[in-house]
């Protein structure tokens, strides 16, 4: 069976597959990559940002990080039958799930955007190229300290970019949205993804 070049799995925040995830899916698709966004909530209706507390409680009680990883790993394994490379990009809790998916060899690259809960899993050693994007301001996490701890690990596959914004700075629907920083972060993501694509082509030549 012929395999296509690359697919990306987009892992959503606590709110589900909302407008932000749909716009990210469209943006990534413009790179010539097939993008899937599995609904971990198994609910057609996403939570609003005003329902943050309820959405977070639902995530912890009914999904959780390890269950989220299991769901995404199943999607990875399925897509690996069709694509030469499969990457995972996640936001917030989705970033932490993505980080945990990178501890084995079943996916080809990881991108995590403001995954503050990674602080509970710093011993996870990435087994594939990994880009982490952090906002300096997190209400529940000392990001500079977290970044220092990760950099001390000297993980060979890990690349970290830190931005002087708040959690959600890449999301146009967030009160913390910063267009300039969002564009800079997206440029890093595009460059990282393009590198994975070019390496894929080189390996086939």
pTM: 0.93
pLDDT of residue 202: 47
Residue-level pLDDT at 1: 47
Beta-bridge mates of residue 8: 35, 87
Q: Which CATH architecture has domain 4-204?
A: 3-Layer(aba) Sandwich (3.40)
State how far the Cα of 169 lies from the Cα of 10, in Å rounded to an integer. 18
* Dihedral pair phi/psi, residue 18, rounded to 5°: -100, -170
Q: What is the pLDDT of residue 3?
A: 61
* Three-state secondary structure call for residue 168: coil
> Each residue of 110-124: b (16+ CB within 10 Å) or e?
bbbbbbbbbbeeeeb
What is the C-alpha to C-alpha distance for residues 194 and 152, in angstroms, rounded to an integer? 27
For residue 67, is pLDDT > 80?
Answer: yes
Measured between alpha carbons, how far is 4 from 166 in angstroms, rounded to an integer?
37
């Amino acid at each position: 069976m012929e395999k296509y070049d690359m697919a990306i799995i987009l892992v959503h925040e606590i709110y589900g597959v909302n407008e932000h995830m749909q716009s990210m899916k469209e943006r990534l698709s413009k790179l010539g990559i097939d993008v899937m966004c599995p609904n971990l909530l198994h609910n057609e209706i996403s939570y609003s940002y005003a329902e943050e507390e309820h959405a977070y409680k639902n995530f912890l009680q009914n999904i959780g990080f390890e269950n989220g990883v299991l769901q995404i790993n199943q999607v990875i394994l399925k897509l690996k039958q069709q694509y030469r490379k499969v990457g995972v990009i996640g936001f917030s809790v989705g970033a932490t799930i993505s980080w945990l998916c990178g501890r084995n060899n079943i996916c080809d690259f990881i991108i995590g955007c403001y995954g503050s809960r990674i602080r509970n899993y710093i011993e996870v050693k990435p087994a594939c190229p990994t880009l982490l994007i952090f906002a300096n301001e997190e209400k529940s996490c000392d990001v500079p300290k977290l970044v220092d701890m990760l950099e001390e690990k000297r993980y060979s596959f890990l690349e970290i970019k830190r931005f002087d914004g708040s959690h959600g700075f890449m999301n146009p629907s967030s009160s913390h949205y910063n267009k300039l920083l969002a564009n800079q972060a997206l440029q890093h993501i595009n460059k990282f993804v393009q590198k994975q694509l070019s390496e894929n082509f080189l390996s086939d030549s």
